[in-house]
Amino acid sequence: MSKLIKVIDKEEGGAFIADSYAPVADDAALPDGAVLVSLERFQKDRDALLARNTPIGVLLKASESPEKLGGDINRLSLVALEFPVFRDGRAFSWARMLRTRLGFTGEIRAVGDFLFDQINYQHRVGFDAWVVPDTFKLEDFARALGEMTNVYQPSSDGKKTIRELRASR
């Protein structure tokens, strides 16, 4: 079993929330309300999904670039990025691309096999929600977000790098 956690405030950590998106298989009928569909389903039923005027989420596999969503990116309220195995980091690049190059302002959700140690990095590149196991605690999430106080790499979070901090002295 799993549950959804969402960042509320970086200093305060996050909160468990009810997932309002119904995951829909490619061959299933669309239920009322917010849905989470595959990229293939979105591309196939794009017009019908957009005409519903309800929140739409798309689940991207690690091999599927967000650029495949084209001009519809800002008509989505959620993009879920899959981590098929913890050592597959393509979703980090996709999240940063969504936030910086594509200007996506909706929810970016991490799903699949990721590690506690990756949560801070995921947040830095744009993730703001995670599907976690039932055993995961809010205290662990707050601790993960606070793991790094200074960073070397620039990212979409706007945090100053160590080099920038040294240069401003």
Q: Per-residue pLDDT for 167 more than 90?
A: no
Edge-first strand listing for the sheet containing 13-17: 13-17, 2-9, 129-133, 107-112, 78-83, 56-60, 35-38, 22-23
pLDDT band with cut points at 50, 70 and 90 for residue 166: confident
Share of the chain above pLDDT 90, in %: 60
Of the two residues 131 and 3, the one the predictor is more confident about is 131
* pTM of the predicted structure, to 2 decimals: 0.86
Query: Tell me: the pLDDT tens digits for 108-164?
Result: 999 999 988 899 899 989 999 999 988 888 888 888 888 777 655 766 676 776 677
- Upper half-sphere CA count for residue 4 (Cβ side, 13 Å): 15
What's the total number of domains in the chain?
Answer: 1
Give the CATH number for residue 140: 3.20.20.70
Most confident among 3-17, 38-52, 106-120, 141-155 (mean pLDDT):
38-52
- pLDDT at res. 1: 65
Mean pLDDT computed over every residue of the chain: 88
Angle at 119 between CA 118 and CA 120, to 5 degrees: 95
Range of the domain at 44: 2-167
